[in-house]
Amino acid sequence: MQNCIFCKISAHEVVSDIVAEDADVIVFKDIHPKAETHWLIVPKKHIHSVSAVESSDWPLVASVIKKAADVAKEKGLAGYKLVFNVGREGGQMVDHLHLHLLAGGKVELP
Amino acid sequence: MQNCIFCKISAHEVVSDIVAEDADVIVFKDIHPKAETHWLIVPKKHIHSVSAVESSDWPLVASVIKKAADVAKEKGLAGYKLVFNVGREGGQMVDHLHLHLLAGGKVELP
């Protein structure tokens, strides 16, 4: 989607600090970290929000969570929090579905 | 699973303040709320954690998130946060996968 920063990051049109990537999902570091480790796990396909997932896209949402768990294991994280902010009143700042992974140090709400 | 409080709640062997329920997922109020609205969305099948999901159970994890979004919409929540705590160091207190939904008032990390 035009003018979507996470679409641009997914397409490598905007540089990010990439942690992992496959055909469907990209993982990169949050530029305003709320914990020692703070990644964003993002489907490359533009989905607006958890509140606006089409039936056919739920497997992709599951892939986002699986990717978080897989990369956390690869990187040896002992424990972590996964957070979806939904809607402005839920703290969602970018209208492209994304999962926060937070671990280590003083963890704050994203 | 024997001695699992969330299995007992799912089987209605332990009373909870149920918000919604279907064949696979139950939604009930957290007894130690960290926000005005604080629900737990729990698959009835015992899955230990997000870090221990079998391949065949990822659709069920997607159903947990879909259920949260559907019930939030039904109840008219404007925005909310969804949180999985993974592992003790991630704040997971019950070893049966569960999703926190937090909305309204001063929201604290679960």
Checking if the pLDDT of A47 tops 80, the result is yes
Nearest 10 degrees: CA dihedral of B100, B103, B108, B110? -10
Give the residue on A whose Cα is nearest the Cα of B93.
Answer: A79
Nearest CA of chain B to the CA of A85: how many Å?
5
pLDDT at position B85 is: 98
pLDDT at position A96 is: 98
Name chain B contacts of A107, Cβ cutoff 8 Å.
109
Question: pTM of this prediction?
Answer: 0.97
Average pLDDT over residues A14-29: 98
Fold of the domain spanning A5-80+89-103: HIT family, subunit A (3.30.428)
Confidence of residue A81 (pLDDT cuts 50, 70, 90): very high
pLDDT at position A25 is: 98
Catalytic residue, candidates B38, B96, B98, B100: B98
Q: Of the candidates A53, A58, A87, which has its C-beta nearest B78's C-beta?
A: A87
Q: Of the candidates A59, A90, A109, which has its C-beta nearest B80's C-beta?
A: A90
CA dihedral sign, ordered B68, B109, A81, A90: positive
| A37 touching chain B per CB within 8 A | no
For residue A67 the two structure tokens come to 């990717």
| Mode of pairing for the β-strands spanning A99-103 and A80-86 | antiparallel
Q: Of the candidates B53, B78, B83, which has its C-beta nearest A82's C-beta?
A: B83
Look up tokens 């003790």; give the residue: B88
How high does pLDDT run on average in chain A? 96
pLDDT at position B44 is: 98
Nearest CA of chain A to the CA of B6: how many Å?
20
B107 three-state secondary structure: coil
Domain extent listing, chain B:
5-80+89-103
Q: Which among A97, A89, A33 has a CA at the least distance from the CA of A65?
A: A97
Name chain A contacts of B53, Cβ cutoff 8 Å.
66, 69
User: What b/e readout covers B27-58, taking b as 16+ CB neighbours within 10 angstroms?
Assistant: bbebeeebbebbbbbbbbeebebbbebeeebb
Mark residue B16 as left, alpha or beta (left: phi above 0; alpha: psi -120 to 50; beta: remaining): beta
pLDDT at position A2 is: 80
Q: Could you give the CA distance from residue A14 to residue A8 in angstroms, rounded to a whole number? A: 5
pLDDT in tens, chain B (110 residues): 789 999 999 999 999 999 999 999 999 999 999 999 999 999 999 999 999 999 999 999 999 999 999 999 999 999 999 999 999 999 999 999 999 999 998 888 88
Checking if the pLDDT of A27 tops 80, the result is yes
Query: How distant is the alpha carbon of residue A99 from its chain centre?
Result: 3
